[in-house]
Structure 1
Amino acid sequence: MILRDHFFSNNLCLYVVRMSRSHTRSLLDAYELAIDEVVAACDGDVRGALRALMLVNEQLEQRLERMSAQLDDQSENHRPRGLLH
């Protein structure tokens, strides 16, 4: 089987390679369907669909950075003040 979806990420490729063929086909079919839906939502404009996905990805990255910063702040407040032994 040739992996057409190498562009997603190396981790995804490794994950897909380890799955059974039927599960792999099912996952790739789901991606194909999702891609078709995004392109259709952009009236068939592939560049518009890519632009929209890039914007959503940027928003998700910013949200992840904010959440990570909040977790860092919380863990900083709960660290032990001195050695316990």
Structure 2
Amino acid sequence: MLHAGAIDNTAQKKVLLIKSFKKFKVGDGKKKRKITQKYKQSNESAVKSHSKKMNQWFSIKKCHRMNNDLARKSNWKENN
């Protein structure tokens, strides 16, 4: 359950966003679009970098697993 402060905080953020959009006049549609695009791009780049890191991590894990399997097989052959 959220406490009242969190709800107030989100409401304040919404109000700030609305105020920032209200600053523009009628012909400023391009400015609004640029701002929203900037937010979208920053979010997309963050997602891309995160997925890249995760892929690297998984590939390393996969490599370790393969090496462990190979080591296990070679030990088994030596012992039997």
TM-score under structure 1 length normalisation: 0.48
Decide which structure has greater helix share. 2
TM-score under structure 2 length normalisation: 0.50
Larger radius of gyration: 2
